[in-house]
Structure 1
């Protein structure tokens, strides 16, 4: 080691040595990053990255070697044999390719050892081919022990470097960088310690030309550009891959969320359909047995009287009303599903016509008065007559869904329905003073098959399609629906529809 250190200090331009060392470290770090990427890829993609890794390694190693050769100071003139110098570059690239491909694609201890051995031999062959191409006016002697040691060092350290890449990411990159850079540097300077030159003529004041430093800088710059290009390719591909993974993750999460929502919807739907169907089937059974059941209560000698038929008629009417109510619930659910399906298929035709908003709001209130009475709530119309152009039936549908939700879920005592002019159109508003909605749920309540409460915890029914249908209908008109709410204080739904509303004149109101 003392001889190697003496060679570096005594026989080399330390500035160029430092330049070669920096290039070696940077190149080794890039090669380590690329090789670690090779190990993460499927076999088909890994082959491409093996070639990029090997090309970067071959060029970096050769340029490091050549700059270090230029740093070698002798008391005798020296030149380079072009063909052998170029051959040393080819050896570095081909040998690096074989070593990286075998170790990177095999991904086993055996292939790592084989690849590392080939890689180390390639570096050694490159170095000594370059040394043969270095033509100096003097007598050359080789120290076989140092020569052998340099080859062994190259093989062992490159094998350890490839093996280190199989560890955890950060540690593996740093370890491989250190081992690969050590292999290149120690091989070169141990080999140079084996290279002994006796000049043919003593020239104590001779020094390598200044042009050598310029050549070294040009080679270093070229190698750095090639290495940076490889690093840039890795960064771009890695970022693209991470973005693709993130997109796939978001798509997977969205698919899982949609699947959960649909499963929840099917659970809700089965309950919603089963309840009215049970009522229909039950009361239909009562009707079919009504006559026999009432006649069975009479004694054998007793004949049916008018009061018996009146009683049966009252019972039949009651059962029929309940069947009608349950059938209406079923029809509402089925209509909601069909409506949403048609909207998803963009099969929604609007029948726009002029109508009075106050009359429409009164119709909605009349429809929900019974439910409001059951919930101890009061429906208020707080608006002036307003003539607008929209699909009246769909407008009733939107408001019915919103008012129905307010009665079911808000626990409000007062619900206000309004229609008012707005910039470029008009708005329907439904405001309640109920429990409110959390801000994080504002967007989720408009998603299909979604309800804030779980199916097992809901006290009220519903398919979770109502507000999704409202949003689609509002957007079909060219408008939208929004919500404002404060927990414990109430909620306001606003449906905006573009158009040109006309407010009734005061004289018309008085009339």
Structure 2
């Protein structure tokens, strides 16, 4: 039992059973001792010997459960001390007063003694078989756990390899754009001068054309740089979250204002995707980290616009009891049930970047899940293929009364 469960309680129980077993073996042998005299037992030494056997047997099992260099030697020494301590303490409890009787024997007593010895031997054999089956079962369970760990490590390695492939593509694209347009800007003056006719002066028209081209190229460089910065920020966020270094700056803010700000920010992308973006909200305040809540909704809303092929996307903010519910729902392609748990794992995408022109690092939902957990909340997802998907962010800090109470306590 102790070898099977590897817990302190089972180790103590195993030590008690083992101590009682060797005590039974010892005192069964003492009962077999024949002498012409009256035998007296000191109960103090008797109880002390049994307790000593149980305590040292338990210590031996504790040492046996460890994986240290000298664990086996410590276990053997403790078990030897248990047997030796039991023996000599038990012998100290044994006193004989001689008598003048000779030739005294009791056949019934010998018969009882034989039955006790046979029963003890049977218990030892059954205990050995039981231990064998337990150890075998434990060994098989360990093999299964090792196989599962191996498969999980293999899947994690494969996911990270795919992530590195996607990441290299995601980084290469904006860097190529930045380098290309930076090269254009470097040679823009020379190209403009080369287009002039001999002895043609540079006029205001040329400066305007040059300024327009510079502004257009600079805008594309800025867009690519923003994309690159987003990827780097996601990597840094995920790393800091994995190291448990998330710091929340909790403030009180209106949920409706946050949704309105996001709707205005994503209105341009929604028009490009030919999707209608709507918001619904109750009038209440949220006491949380506004920047982190905005980051969660940006990830959810960005995924809905990029990957769902939806014609309608709706954001909601509702107060349900003592919780805040932030929802992003679309009527797009949906996701199969087997993908609903995988999408929150790092480096995993329900649709890989190679199948979508928008790409992605596969870290957005993993980061959002951990940020919600940092608020002592959660993210839930419901999706049906061909009907749509709904993400729900549940935050327990959602009432202005909470902010007022904390402000009152601080004051």
State TM-score, norm by structure 1: 0.55
For the Cα contact (< 8 Å) 1:358–1:419, is it kept in 2? yes
SS at match of 1:335: helix
1:348-395 Cα offsets, whole Å, 9 max, x none, are 111111111111111111221121111111110112332221111111
- Check whether the contact 1:483–1:493 (CA below 8 A) recurs between aligned residues: yes
Q: Does 1:373 align with 2:271?
A: yes
SS in 2 for 1:456: helix
Q: Following the alignment from structure 1 to structure 2, what is the Cα–Cα distance between the partners of residues 378 and 224?
A: 80
1:231 to partner: Cα distance: 1.4
The structure number with the bigger radius of gyration is 1
Q: Which residue of the partner structure matches residue 207 of structure 2?
A: 309
Check whether the contact 2:270–2:276 (CA below 8 A) recurs between aligned residues. Answer: yes
Match of 1:268 among 160, 166, 169: 166
CA contact (8 A) 1:267 1:455 kept: no
User: How far apart are 1:263 and its partner, in Å?
Assistant: 1.1
Cα distance, 1:409 vs structure 2: 0.8
Alignment partner of 1:458 is 2:356: yes
Structure 1 residue 259 displacement after superposition: 1.1
Q: Partner residue of 1:259?
A: 157
Aligned to 1:441: 339
Matched, 1:395 2:293: yes
The Cα of 1:256 is off from its aligned counterpart by 1.4
Q: Secondary structure at the match of 1:451?
A: coil
Match of 1:357 in 2: 255
> SS in structure 1 opposite 2:281?
coil
Which whole-Å CA distance do the structure 2 matches of 1:215 and 1:385 have between them?
86
Note if contact 2:353-2:360 (Cα within 8 Å) is conserved in structure 1. no
Aligned to 1:496: 394
1:166-190: CA deviations, max 9, x gaps? xxxxxxxxxxxxxxxxxxxxxxxxx
| CA-based RMSD | 2.3
8 Å contact from structure 1 (residues 264, 455) kept in 2: no
- Runs of 4+ aligned residues of structure 1 deviating over 6 Å after TM superposition are 209-220
The change in CA–CA distance for 1:458 and 1:210 in structure 2 (over 3 A counts) is farther
Distance 1:288 1:211 in 2: 111
Alignment of 1:199-218 (within 5 A): none
Measure, in 2, the Cα distance between the counterparts of 1:425 and 1:210: 78
TM-score, reference length from structure 2: 0.68
Number of equivalences = 295
Output the CA distance in 2 between the equivalents of 1:389 and 1:407. Answer: 28
**Aligned with 1:461: secondary structure?**
coil
Distance 1:458 1:324 in 2: 23
Measure, in 1, the Cα distance between the counterparts of 2:398 and 2:301.
Answer: 25
The one-character-per-residue Cα deviations of 1:60-97 (angstroms, maximum 9, x if unpaired) are xxxxxxxxxxxxxxxxxxxxxxxxxxxxxxxxxxxxxx
Partner of 1:425: 323
Alignment of 1:63-74 (within 5 A): none
CA shift at 1:459, angstroms?
3.5
Is 2:280 the partner of 1:385?
no
Show structure 2 runs of 5+ residues with no match: 1-106, 402-411
**Does 1:250 find its partner at 2:148?**
yes
Contact 2:382 2:390 in 1 (8 A): yes
Deviations 1:285-337 (A, max 9, x none): 00001110111111222122211111111111100000000000011111111
For residues 235 and 192 of structure 2, the distance between their equivalents in structure 1, rounded to whole angstroms, comes to 41
